[in-house]
Amino acid sequence: MISFLSSPLFYFFVTVGIYFLFALLQKKTHSPLLNPLLWTIIFVIGYILLVVLMDKHEVNPELIEAEVKNYEGAVNIFDILLAPVTVALALPLYANRHVLKENWLAIIVASVVGVGTSIGSVILLGYLLGLDNSIVMALYPRGVTTAIAREISVMLGVGQFASITVTVVVITGIVGAILGPLLIKLFHGDDDASVGLALGSASHAIGTSKAFDYSEKAGAIASVSIITNGFLTVVVALIVSLCMR
């Protein structure tokens, strides 16, 4: 029974099932607190711990690590599809290219401010917490989507900390997708361009998918924010890392 519950196929369907369940709940309730990615992560962690406990009758770091590797092999398809899905954001971008021409200055300004704030806050917190420079550099790309962030970490020579990079990127995206709509509502943000720039710059692909809930225009601008943020992050991260070494 345990072997079935921890089989690759079952892990795959558990992950997909939980995600679509909360995606449906969020669509019906329109609550950002029901972010499907957040709850999928929480439930999958709980499920893995339950499988380890049922199988080994104890939970320790070694057993958890072994089961996590088993899970990673089961859902490796998501890693493979990550880059194509990111590139697919170019479709709404192209369809709404006229919107981008009208808002090009706002997009550039928002991206510069977003990237500066993102990397600046990492440097400041890294200094205050006394983090190693390699860890700090691994956190530089936290404001861009996972596929781009991984390549940036390798380019900066901190690819060994890719798991930290990915974790922080996902956390950034989830927090932005949850708090972003709440802040937009609080400050009465009803302009599609502003909504798209805020969500795209603050929470990359996760925020972009949320921006499409507002409008096609907001989603298109959020999509281009991912591209400009990624480019600027590469440039700024390289300059800062050279200065810090």
pLDDT (0 to 100) of residue 46: 92
Q: Which ranges of the chain would DSSP assign to H, the alpha helix?
A: 2-5, 8-29, 36-56, 61-74, 76-87, 90-95, 97-102, 104-129, 133-139, 146-155, 162-186, 192-214, 216-244
pLDDT (0 to 100) of residue 244: 62
**Residues 3-24: b if buried by 16+ CB within 10 A, e if exposed:** eeebeeeebbebbeebbeebbe
- What tens digit of pLDDT does each residue of 18-57 get? 999 998 998 888 787 888 888 998 999 999 999 888 887 8
| Mean pLDDT rounded to a whole number for the chain | 83
- Is 94's pLDDT higher than 80? no
Residue 1 banded pLDDT, cuts 50, 70, 90? low
- What tens digit of pLDDT does each residue of 178-188 get? 888 888 888 87
More confident residue, 176 or 80: 176
